[in-house]
Amino acid sequence: MENLLIPYQAAGNITASRVLVLAPHPDDEVFGCGGAIMRHIEQHVPVHVIIVTDGAYGVSPDEASAYVQQRRNESIAAAAILGSGTPMFWQQPDRGLYYGEKLIGEISAAIHETQADLIYAPSVYEVHPDHRALAMATLEAVRRCENPVQLALYEIGQPFQPNLLLDISDLAARKMDAMRCFASQTARQRYDLDIAALNRYRTYTLPADVSAAEAYILTDTKALASDPLKLYQSEHARQQKTGLPIDTGDLPLVSVIIRSMDRDTLSDALDSVALQTYPNIEVVLVNAKGPGHRAVGKWCGRFPLRRIESDERLERGKAANTGLQAAKGDFLIFLDDDDWFLPHHITRLKEAFDHPGQIVAVYSAIQCVNDKGEETRLMNEAFDATQLYINNFIPIHATLFRSFVREKGVCFDEALPVCEDWDFWLQLSEHGTFRFVAETGAIYRIQNDSGSGVWTNADLTRQTMISIYRKWLPQLQDKTLWSILEYARYKQLYVEFHTQASMSIAQKDGQIAGMQLSITERDERITERDKLIKERDKLIEERNQQITSILSSTSWRITRPFRSIMVFIRNHLLSRTH
């Protein structure tokens, strides 16, 4: 069963119509996927190569310009051997790449401009930070593609478990020639020999006639939606020690507040924060479980994590207020430890604050999933202030809000056992407007079929909602109260209209059924008549055949003179009687 873990047959090529190769440094495009590039060129498939950084890390400023030009020339010479044409050089600083919207946007634009349906990028398991940053950004760019796109992750400094091995036996010598073009690098270490050895090693499970192979993890846009690489399970732990370069610029700090009961799903929640493309985040983890909570460390990927301790179990409202007071960000967002963000969530919410208006909160659409991971309800209702007084339609982790509301006294009602976020949104709405972002930004894990986890205990939720109504009813202005009553009245009118319409439709259905019965009876009579006509026609046909048989017989021809005499006598007798 080893072939379930690694391929035992090599592919001859990877099918594509247009190819885009993304390389973090000059030489990675050859080391990682030089054989695949040549294979595509053989098949007359256009290949576009982009080298993202200048490769000048560690070189003094006085020597940088000449060194950068040398590395460019080496890549151009290698490209001539591969036959792929002159690469494009983005000239970003070596060891200056970071996973974020800027890099993702540039990659997305390149995919769109080249119309590539196959993208090559380094794997997320690479050691070099530029390799990892480019890999993660490419994964996110491909995940967002509207059209189907394949992604092939290649290996350079860190072997991985591939799902495709590409036979490059007939191309290995030419690949070696191309790798030798990078004299500035092979002078430090014989990387060309290292990669040749790696390509030879990759034939370990292949037939004896394969002498060199390149390894790839091949995935695509559709598959990335379900995260086959298990990034959400690996990224948090992997980055705790290594991290990624981060450039926050002037972006405000966003605090992600996690009320943790130490569920098994906490790692999913933390991983989803580690993968956020917004670069300036802190994680405030409130230990709501009390004694016995697992250790989580001081980092969530590249973002700092502060754990707020408690000697006792904290109820929902108390835990939320604890995190609210501990957060240092200009913007705040909650994430329960059984839910998770999509990578773009915080970025999209923060961008919505840039629109004019007194916006106090921005929320996105939320996809609900059941305990099997199957998608159920999509929560995507646009904001309606009147509706918010009637029921809560905004999940807590959907919403990014301004931290200044704490100074206005906005906090969670700790007397509420559930629905505390609904009461919080009502308080928040008194200090500004809400904006809705229609894009799905996060996942809400629901353990029952009620549509919301608070309905697990329906009686408790019902009583809590009544207490919230009682709390807010005395504070409502006449205009708001009238809007709520109008909403209820028009809803009743809608119900009555719908009932009457249903009755009318039922009457019409009855009439139609009666007509259908009449039509059925008529069709039965027509069928019976057609049957009689067929029987009559059959009888006539039989008589005609009998007559024809008689007329064509010998006896009929012989007796013809006698029949003529008999006709003459009969006519003569008839004439005399007259």
For residues 308-319, give the mean pLDDT. Answer: 94
What is the C-alpha separation between 439 and 161, in angstroms, rounded? 34
Two tokens, residue 42: 């053989």
pLDDT for 490 beyond 60:
yes
Q: Which amino acid is at 384?
A: D
Q: What is the DSSP letter of 22?
A: E
Of 486, 506, 526, the domain-final residue: 506
pLDDT for 517 beyond 80:
no
Other Cβ atoms within 10 Å of 195 Cβ, number? 22
Does residue 341 lie in a domain region? yes
> Is residue 386 exposed (0-12), middle (13-18) or buried (19+ Cβ within 10 Å)?
middle
Which range, 226-240, 369-383, 399-413, 523-537, is most confident?
Answer: 399-413
pLDDT for 424 beyond 70:
yes
What is the C-alpha separation between 147 and 250, in angstroms, rounded? 34
Confidence of residue 294 (pLDDT cuts 50, 70, 90): very high
**pTM for the structure as a whole:** 0.76
Task: Return phi, psi of residue 256, to 5°.
Answer: -100, 115
| Cβ pair 34, 213 in contact under 8 A | no
pLDDT score of 489? 64
- Give the pairing of strands 254-260 and 331-334: parallel
Two tokens, residue 123: 């794997």
Better-scored residue on pLDDT, 526 or 158: 158
What is the C-alpha separation between 12 and 32, in angstroms, rounded? 17
What is the C-alpha separation between 270 and 340, in angstroms, rounded? 8
pLDDT score of 577? 46
User: Is 204 found in the same domain as 248?
Assistant: no
pLDDT score of 485? 76
Nearest to 123 by CA among 42, 234, 226, 19: 234
Other Cβ atoms within 10 Å of 297 Cβ, number? 12
Task: Return phi, psi of residue 342, to 5°.
Answer: -85, 155
Of 474, 490, 515, the domain-final residue: 474
pLDDT score of 450? 46
pLDDT (tens digit per residue) in 159-204? 999 999 999 999 999 999 999 999 999 999 999 999 999 999 999 9
| Cβ pair 92, 122 in contact under 8 A | no
User: Is 366 found in the same domain as 298?
Assistant: yes
Better-scored residue on pLDDT, 157 or 236: 157
pLDDT for 153 beyond 90:
yes
Two tokens, residue 498: 């719908």
For residues 87-99, give the mean pLDDT. Answer: 95
pLDDT score of 504? 56
Does residue 155 lie in a domain region? yes
Task: Return phi, psi of residue 312, to 5°.
Answer: -145, 165
| Cβ pair 118, 219 in contact under 8 A | no
Does residue 572 lie in a domain region? no
pLDDT for 245 beyond 70:
no
Lowest mean per-residue pLDDT among 149-163, 240-254, 325-339, 432-446? 240-254
CATH number at residue 311: 3.90.550.10
Better-scored residue on pLDDT, 519 or 338: 338
pLDDT score of 347? 96
Which range, 103-112, 233-242, 563-572, is most confident?
Answer: 103-112
User: Is 115 found in the same domain as 39?
Assistant: yes
User: Is 222 found in the same domain as 119?
Assistant: yes
Q: Which amino acid is at 89?
A: F
Does residue 574 lie in a domain region? no
User: Is 238 found in the same domain as 210?
Assistant: no
> What end-to-end distance do the CA atoms of the chain give, in Å?
116
pLDDT for 230 beyond 90:
no
Confidence of residue 503 (pLDDT cuts 50, 70, 90): low
pLDDT score of 242? 61
User: Is 87 found in the same domain as 8?
Assistant: yes
- Give the pairing of strands 399-402 and 340-341: unpaired
What is the C-alpha separation between 82 and 47, in angstroms, rounded? 11
For residues 4-16, give the mean pLDDT. Answer: 94
Two tokens, residue 253: 């700090």
What is the C-alpha separation between 296 and 310, in angstroms, rounded? 15
Q: Percent of the chain beyond pLDDT 90?
A: 67
Does residue 512 lie in a domain region? no
Does residue 521 lie in a domain region? no
Other Cβ atoms within 10 Å of 75 Cβ, number? 25
| Cβ pair 269, 339 in contact under 8 A | yes
- The overall average pLDDT reported for the chain is 87
User: Is 352 found in the same domain as 264?
Assistant: yes
- How far, CA to CA in Å, does 450 sit from each of 283, 335, 368, 445? 30, 21, 11, 12
User: Is 433 found in the same domain as 343?
Assistant: yes
Token pair 């019965």 is found at: 517
Q: Which amino acid is at 540?
A: I
Other Cβ atoms within 10 Å of 105 Cβ, number? 14
Does residue 12 lie in a domain region? yes
Q: What is the DSSP letter of 146?
A: S
Other Cβ atoms within 10 Å of 500 Cβ, number? 10
Confidence of residue 243 (pLDDT cuts 50, 70, 90): low
Of 458, 474, 490, the domain-final residue: 474
Does residue 541 lie in a domain region? no
pLDDT for 106 beyond 90:
yes
Two tokens, residue 486: 């109008």
What is the C-alpha separation between 131 and 451, in angstroms, rounded? 42
How many residues can be counted in the chain?
Answer: 578
pLDDT score of 240? 61
| Cβ pair 14, 38 in contact under 8 A | no
Q: Percent of the chain beyond pLDDT 70?
A: 83
Domain hosting residue 13, numbered range: 2-226
User: Is 257 found in the same domain as 383?
Assistant: yes
pLDDT score of 386? 87
| Cβ pair 429, 385 in contact under 8 A | yes
User: Is 482 found in the same domain as 455?
Assistant: no
Q: Quick one: which H or E segment has residue 138?
A: helix 129-143
Lowest mean per-residue pLDDT among 325-329, 370-374, 425-429, 499-503? 499-503
For residues 240-258, give the mean pLDDT. Answer: 75
When divided into structural domains, the chain yields a total of: 3
CATH number at residue 55: 3.40.50.10320
| Cβ pair 484, 469 in contact under 8 A | no
Task: Return phi, psi of residue 126, to 5°.
Answer: -65, 160
Other Cβ atoms within 10 Å of 264 Cβ, number? 8
User: Is 489 found in the same domain as 377?
Assistant: no
pLDDT score of 559? 46
Two tokens, residue 295: 């250790």
User: Is 158 found in the same domain as 198?
Assistant: yes
